[in-house]
Amino acid sequence: MADNSVSWWRLFAMQNDDPRKALGMTVLVAFVAALGVSTAATVLKPYQQVHVERERQARLDAMLNTLPGLRDLMVEAGIDALETRIVDLQSGQYDPTIDPAAFDPVAAAKDPATSRDLPPDADPAGLKRIATHAPVYLLERDGRLHLIVLPVSGIGYQSLIRAYLALEPDLTTVAALTIVEHAETPGIGARIAEPDWQALWPGHRIADEDGRIMIRVARGAEGPYEVDGISGATRTGNGITAMLTFWLGDHGFGPFLDRLRDGGA
């Protein structure tokens, strides 16, 4: 077997204009760079997960602070955070076999064993594939539901939009909508993250008396189901409408919300 160390020393000893040295050094630099990136990704992954969880909790806390009287209720009940549970989206039931603290919905959506494809006619949000399970966040006291928060996502004009939709105890009235992540056009679609626009959502209804999902973003909004859109950001608004239509429907949290209304989740 050849002595690799001798081979490398021969490479370094070559003239700088030798094509073999140029090729060898390119391979060596690429290998070292790939090794460094791979090592950094492995070492930093736990820290990234902690950062993501802190950001999620910060967004939830910010949402809760916008809801009148909710913090007082939590303090009175001795609760400092919403309870997280994992829902089987197809059955609409809680799944106690999955640890909420260890569940990563993004990773689950990429794993064929924990996700499923969406047919185009059932995918208005443009997600193509979703996890079979999803987290929900609840505020309960003495067996009574006071608030439920659903994580939702969908394709906007030029990015994936992630948000939290909070519903009041009737499971039909919007308590809040908070945009968590997006990369929409600065100054136009990006205004969906502004507090003034998000403040338009509370009090709107997600469905009519027959259970049809009616909530939508529309310019010149009228009635209880429409939220005023942003000028110049029609496609971003349409993306949010499609996102909520999907996640509140049969392939999203629809079965879970139906069971919750019936007391069977």
Domain count of the fold of the chain: 2
Report the pLDDT value the prediction gives residue 50, as an integer from 0 to 100.
Answer: 60
Low-confidence ranges of the chain (pLDDT < 70): 1-9, 11-12, 40-53, 56-57, 59-60, 66, 68-70, 72-73, 75-80, 264-265
27 in a structural domain: yes
Q: Answer yes or no: do 18 and 139 share one domain.
A: no
Report the pLDDT value the prediction gives residue 146, as an integer from 0 to 100.
Answer: 86
Report the pLDDT value the prediction gives residue 175, as an integer from 0 to 100.
Answer: 92
247 in a structural domain: yes
Report the pLDDT value the prediction gives residue 73, as an integer from 0 to 100.
Answer: 64
Q: Answer yes or no: do 159 and 242 share one domain.
A: yes
Report the pLDDT value the prediction gives residue 1, as an integer from 0 to 100.
Answer: 47
Q: Answer yes or no: do 89 and 12 share one domain.
A: no
Q: Answer yes or no: do 35 and 80 share one domain.
A: no
Range of the domain at 12: 4-46
Q: Answer yes or no: do 132 and 170 share one domain.
A: yes
Q: Answer yes or no: do 75 and 37 share one domain.
A: no
Element (H, E) at 14: none
The closest of 211, 210, 228 to 219, measured between CA atoms, is 228
Start-to-end CA distance of the chain, whole Å, equals 66
Q: What is the number of H-type helices and E-type strands within the chain? A: 7, 10
Report the pLDDT value the prediction gives residue 255, as an integer from 0 to 100.
Answer: 97
Q: Answer yes or no: do 37 and 70 share one domain.
A: no
> b/e string for 104-140 if b means 16 or more Cβ within 10 A?
ebeebbeeeebbeebeeeebbbbbeebbbbbbbbebe
Q: Answer yes or no: do 116 and 168 share one domain.
A: yes
Q: Answer yes or no: do 11 and 104 share one domain.
A: no
201 in a structural domain: yes
Q: Answer yes or no: do 243 and 167 share one domain.
A: yes
171 in a structural domain: yes
pTM: 0.77
153 in a structural domain: yes
Q: Answer yes or no: do 120 and 202 share one domain.
A: yes
Q: Answer yes or no: do 40 and 72 share one domain.
A: no
146 in a structural domain: yes
